[in-house]
């Protein structure tokens, strides 16, 4: 029978994951619906300018928040002191973000929304192998088997696609490669490389790196129609960008607490929810085989969650065993002093 502390720890982790995942899915679905509305003729059908507005508002909001409440940015001093290391990891996020958004928008010109949403199941395998190469995930055949179930389910969902266009698939795969690379770099910055950036500090550094290539794209694609639409609909544009700011915070929070791979899996569930919601609200047809695939996908996600809970329980047990060893060592003053010197040395190395 597991100890109560272990059960409580597992319950807390599960509730935290559910809360973060539910919030991300809800806000993301809201933003996608909002973006579809904004991209309609007569509103603001300018993808590059829309995304640049999102990042501009995000940067402005984080700077304003830092000015009035710097305590919400506990790792800002560390980030500033190590700004070269931070930029080394975060600067590529700007280009990757711009490439991902551009290719995703181009893909929507050739393929249906449902097909592209379900194509994203490839992110699971791609993210898993990239994370293994980077050392943030440990390869195991059990994990591969569970991820294969998820991939199988989402692949079945995509088999109902009739209007298949190869160039649309190519742009979508390019977008996914950029997205996974961005998520992996973000995970390294948030949890590794000797830096423990909090969510708001990460967003503040990431926003200008993403905004720069988007501003170049705005200059290249700017037309008089963009100016006219901007003047006509700027209040809704700011509201839309505010929702995007909240989503950016949730993305960073997910990467900080759930790992990039878990974030991608939550994204798959989000894609399925969006497709099912569009069917219920707008009457978009979904074949029976796609419904079966959706159930398989959810089963795979549940298996993955069970595996992660087991890994957490094992890590908790090892941690408790380590604490017991430390308490034994503290009985010897000499060992205690040696441990103190060792810890002090490690702290200096970290700085």
DSSP states along 72-127: G-TTHHHHHHTHHHHHHHHHHHHHHHHHHHHHHHHHTTTS-HHHHHHHTTHHHHHH
pLDDT band at 338 (very low <50, low <70, confident <90, very high): very low
User: For 64-113, what is each residue's pLDDT tens digit?
Assistant: 989 998 988 888 988 888 888 888 878 887 788 878 877 877 777 677 76
Residues in contact with 241: Cβ distance below 8 Å, sequence separation at least 6, in sequence order: 53, 54, 56, 57, 58
Long-range contacts at 28-32 (CB < 8 A, ≥ 24 apart):
28/247, 28/250, 28/267, 28/270, 29/270, 29/273, 29/274, 29/277, 30/243, 31/240, 31/243, 31/244, 31/247, 32/274
pLDDT band at 343 (very low <50, low <70, confident <90, very high): very low
pLDDT band at 258 (very low <50, low <70, confident <90, very high): confident
Among 162, 165, 166, 169, smallest CA distance to 122 is for 169
User: For 157-179, what is each residue's pLDDT tens digit?
Assistant: 777 666 677 888 888 889 889 98
Q: How far apart are CA 168 and CA 187, in angstroms?
A: 29
Segments forming the whole domain that contains residue 281: 4-350
Burial classification of residue 212, based on how many CB atoms lie within 10 Å of its CB (0-12 exposed, 13-18 middle, 19 or more buried): middle
Share above pLDDT 70 across residues of the chain, in percent, rounded to a whole number:
77
Lowest mean pLDDT among 169-178, 188-197, 295-304, 309-318: 188-197
The pLDDT assigned to 314 comes to 77
CB neighbour burial string for 118-148, b if at least 16 within 10 angstroms, e if fewer: bbbbbbbbbbbebbbeeebbeeeeebeebbe
The pLDDT assigned to 332 comes to 39
Q: Whose structure tokens read 């390019």? A: 174
- Mean pLDDT value of segment 197-201: 79
**144-148, 188-192, 196-200, 287-291: which is most confident:** 144-148
Lowest mean pLDDT among 11-15, 210-214, 260-264, 308-312: 260-264
Residue 257 has a CB neighbour count (10 Å cut-off) of 17
Among 294, 73, 305, 289, smallest CA distance to 201 is for 73
Q: Are 301 and 262 in contact (CB under 8 A)?
A: no
Higher pLDDT, 310 or 327: 310
- Mean pLDDT value of segment 287-296: 79
Q: How far apart are CA 2 and CA 310, in angstroms?
A: 12
Is residue 307 over pLDDT 70? yes
- The tally of domains found in the chain comes to 1
Angle between helices 224-282 and 166-191 (to 10 degrees): 90
The pLDDT assigned to 187 comes to 72
Q: Are 152 and 81 in contact (CB under 8 A)?
A: no
Angle between helices 122-134 and 224-282 (to 10 degrees): 110
- Mean pLDDT value of segment 248-269: 70
For CA atoms 275, 113, 257, 26, give the dihedral sign: negative
User: For 101-147, what is each residue's pLDDT tens digit?
Assistant: 778 777 776 777 677 777 776 777 788 888 888 777 778 888 888 88
Q: What is the mean pLDDT of the chain?
A: 76
Number of residues that this document lists for the chain: 351
Residues in contact with 187: Cβ distance below 8 Å, sequence separation at least 6, in sequence order: 131, 136, 255, 259, 260
For CA atoms 63, 69, 72, 74, give the dihedral sign: positive
pLDDT band at 342 (very low <50, low <70, confident <90, very high): very low
- Mean pLDDT value of segment 226-242: 92
Which pair of tokens denotes residue 325? 């060893």
The pLDDT assigned to 84 comes to 85
Is residue 208 over pLDDT 70? yes
Question: Strands, DSSP E only, in the chain?
Answer: none
The pLDDT assigned to 236 comes to 93
The CA distances from residue 240 to 41, 103, 153, 161, 202, in Å, are 16, 21, 33, 31, 21
Higher pLDDT, 328 or 233: 233
Q: How far apart are CA 89 and CA 74, in angstroms?
A: 19
Alpha-carbon Rg for the chain in angstroms:
23
pLDDT band at 260 (very low <50, low <70, confident <90, very high): low
Share above pLDDT 90 across residues of the chain, in percent, rounded to a whole number:
10
Query: If phi over 0 gives left and psi between -120 and 50 gives alpha, with beta otherwise, what is residue 192?
Result: beta
Higher pLDDT, 98 or 330: 98
């Amino acid at each position: 029978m597991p100890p109560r502390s272990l059960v409580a720890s597992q319950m807390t982790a599960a509730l935290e994951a559910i809360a973060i995942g539910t919030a991300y899915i809800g806000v993301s679905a809201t933003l996608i619906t909002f973006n579809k509305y904004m991209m309609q003729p007569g509103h603001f059908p300018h993808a590059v300018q829309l995304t640049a507005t999102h990042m501009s508002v995000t940067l402005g909001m984080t700077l304003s928040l830092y000015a009035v409440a710097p305590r919400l940015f506990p790792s800002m001093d560390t980030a500033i002191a190590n700004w070269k290391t931070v930029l080394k990891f975060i600067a590529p996020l700007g280009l990757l973000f711009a490439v991902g958004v551009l290719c995703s928008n181009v893909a929507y010109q050739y393929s249906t929304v449902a097909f592209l949403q379900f194509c994203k199941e490839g992110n699971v395998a791609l993210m898993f192998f990239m994370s293994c190469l980077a050392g943030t995930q440990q390869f195991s055949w059990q994990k591969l088997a569970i991820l294969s179930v998820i991939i199988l389910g989402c692949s079945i969902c995509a088999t109902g696609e009739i209007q298949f266009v190869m160039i649309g698939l190519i742009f979508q795969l390019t977008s996914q490669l950029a997205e996974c690379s961005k998520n992996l770099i973000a995970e390294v910055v948030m949890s590794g490389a000797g830096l423990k950036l909090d969510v708001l500090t990460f967003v503040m550094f990431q926003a200008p790196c993403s905004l720069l290539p988007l501003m170049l794209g705005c200059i290249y694609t700017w037309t008089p129609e963009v100016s006219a639409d901007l003047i006509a609909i700027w209040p809704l544009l700011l509201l839309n960008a505010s929702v995007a700011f909240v989503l950016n915070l949730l993305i960073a929070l997910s990467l900080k607490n759930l790992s990039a791979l878990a974030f991608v899996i939550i994204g798959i569930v989000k894609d399925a929810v969006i497709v099912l919601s569009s069917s219920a609200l707008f009457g978009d047809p979904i074949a029976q085989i796609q419904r079966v695939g959706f159930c398989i996908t959810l089963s795979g996600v549940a298996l993955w969650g069970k595996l992660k809970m087991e890994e957490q329980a094992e890590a908790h047990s090892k941690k408790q065993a380590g604490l017991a060893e430390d308490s034994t060592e503290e009985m010897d003053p000499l060992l205690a002093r040696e441990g103190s010197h060792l810890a002090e040395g490690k702290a200096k190395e970290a700085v």
